[in-house]
Each structure stands twice: as structure tokens, then as C-alpha cells.
């Protein structure tokens, strides 16, 4: 609700900017409002809305088994080689961040013994598996292999 109200205010600022003929000031106001809108777009849905499919999570599980399990363990609980990426450890770290941030973090740094060696689709599938393993609900549409689209989905605590 708070986010909706903020979006409304941004709309008002934009409307004001377009009617007030003051070229430089309105351009600056519009730029600020657009910046605010770009930030707000991150919150169009959350991981509670069913943002991946069960089939995608199963594919991601295979990616995980082959590329991540050796360090993060079969239950994602970590071990001597790597931190836990399950349960409260996952939630505490990732809550209120967009899925795109998690995707990018994994894409640039994991698997630690060969970062970037998977395809974007495989990274997306493994993110779907992480969400599935952390008890978020599956839905009708797959997570897109696209950072910008993933940035619109917010990670929130599981219910």
C-alpha cells in the first residue's frame, strides 16, 4: 500500500512537470520522478506470487546438483566449503532485494570454481530452484532469463 501511494505521488509530480512550462525545472523534476519510478518498478510482484514453474525448479535442481551441491550441500545448508543458502540464512540476506540481484550475484560469482560458466537460462533455473527449496510457491509462468525483468520481482520473507 505504501508503495502504491508513492507511485501516485510520482504520477502527480510528472503531471505537474508537464503542465508547468518551465523548461529546465520541469525537466529536472521529470528526471527525478523517472528515477523514482525506475526504483519503484522493482516492486511490481514478489516471490509469493508464483513467479517460477515447478518444471523450471526441477531443471534448476539438476543444475544445482551438478554445479553447486559439492560446496553448498544437498540441502543447501552449506558446510566447510560454502555458506548456507537455505531457510533463515537465505531470508535474512536476501529479503527486500530484487530477484535480479540474486541472479546477478550468482551469475558473476558462482559456481565459485568457475563463475559465469553456465548459461543465463541455467542461472535462472537455479534461482527458481533456490526459491522452490526456500518454500516459495510455484506458479504458471517461468522466471525470465532477463535481469531487468527479474529486478521487478522482490524477495520477501516466506509466509
The binding site for ligand HEC (CB under 6 A) comprises: 67-68, 70-72, 81-83, 85, 93, 106, 109-113, 126
Which of residues 26 and 78 has its CB atom nearest to ligand HEC in the complex? 78
Helical (H) or strand (E) element with 120? helix 120-133
Nearer to ligand HEC, 34 or 89 (CB): 89
* CB nearer to ligand HEC: pick between 51 and 94: 94
Comparing CA positions, the residue from 105, 94, 110 lying closest to residue 154 is 94
CA pair distance 27, 146, nearest whole angstrom: 30
Report in angstroms how near the CB of residue 115 gets to ligand HEC at its nearest: 9
- Minimum Å distance from CB 101 to ligand HEC? 10
Residue 117 cell numbers, joined: 560458466
102 in helix, strand or coil? helix
Do the Cβ atoms of 140 and 55 come closer than 8 Å? no
Kindly state the smallest distance separating residue 93's Cβ from ligand HEC, in Å. Answer: 4
Pick the closest to residue 107 from 94, 119, 116, 95 (CA basis): 116
Residue 13 or residue 123: which is nearer to ligand HEC going by CB? Answer: 123
Question: Least distance from C-beta 4 to ligand HEC, angstroms?
Answer: 30
Amino acid at each position: 500500500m505504501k508503495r502504491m501511494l508513492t507511485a501516485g505521488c510520482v504520477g502527480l509530480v510528472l503531471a505537474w512537470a508537464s503542465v508547468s512550462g518551465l523548461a529546465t525545472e520541469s525537466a529536472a523534476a521529470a528526471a527525478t520522478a523517472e528515477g523514482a519510478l525506475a526504483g519503484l518498478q522493482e516492486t511490481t510482484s514478489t516471490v509469493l506470487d508464483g513467479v517460477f514453474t515447478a518444471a523450471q525448479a526441477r531443471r534448476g535442481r539438476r543444475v544445482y546438483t551438478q554445479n553447486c551441491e559439492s560446496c553448498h550441500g544437498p540441502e543447501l545448508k552449506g558446510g566447510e566449503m560454502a555458506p548456507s543458502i537455505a531457510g533463515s540464512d537465505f531470508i535474512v540476506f536476501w529479503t527486500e532485494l530484487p530477484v535480479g540481484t540474486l541472479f546477478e550475484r550468482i551469475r558473476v560469482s558462482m559456481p565459485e570454481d568457475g563463475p559465469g560458466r553456465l548459461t543465463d537460462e541455467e542461472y535462472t533455473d537455479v534461482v527458481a530452484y533456490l526459491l522452490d527449496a526456500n518454500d516459495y510457491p510455484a506458479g504458471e509462468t517461468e522466471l525470465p532469463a532477463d535481469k531487468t525483468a527479474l529486478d521487478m520481482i522482490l524477495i520477501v520473507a516466506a509466509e
